[in-house]
């Protein structure tokens, strides 16, 4: 199951949205599973793209002596 919260207008709260995921998401083939995961994220974002906010800092902790990128 994939789930996300959609903000309602005028600060009226949130709508919880859920949908079933593709069967490939559980595949042992990493390429199939990752492609499926990307499609699921795109599906969620396409519902309300104006509310999408990317905050994941993958390289937040860098190895000692490496340049900070954020």
Q: Characterise 67 by phi-psi region: left (phi > 0), alpha (psi -120 to 50), beta (else).
A: beta
Q: Per-residue pLDDT tens for 13-44?
A: 999 999 999 999 999 999 999 999 999 999 99
Contact in structure between 5 and 14 (CB atoms under 8 Å): yes
What is the pLDDT at residue 16? 97
- Is the pLDDT reported for residue 60 higher than 90? no
At 67 the three-state DSSP class reads coil
Q: Using alpha carbons, select from 53, 41, 51, 52 the residue that is nearest to residue 8.
A: 51
What is this structure's pTM?
A: 0.67
């Amino acid at each position: 199951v994939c789930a996300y919260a959609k903000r309602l207008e005028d600060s009226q709260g949130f709508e919880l949205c859920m949908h079933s995921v593709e069967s490939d998401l559980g595949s042992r083939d990493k390429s199939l599973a990752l492609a499926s995961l990307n499609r699921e994220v795109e599906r969620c974002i396409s519902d309300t793209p104006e509310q999408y906010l990317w905050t994941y800092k993958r390289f937040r902790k860098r190895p000692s002596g490496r340049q900070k990128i954020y």
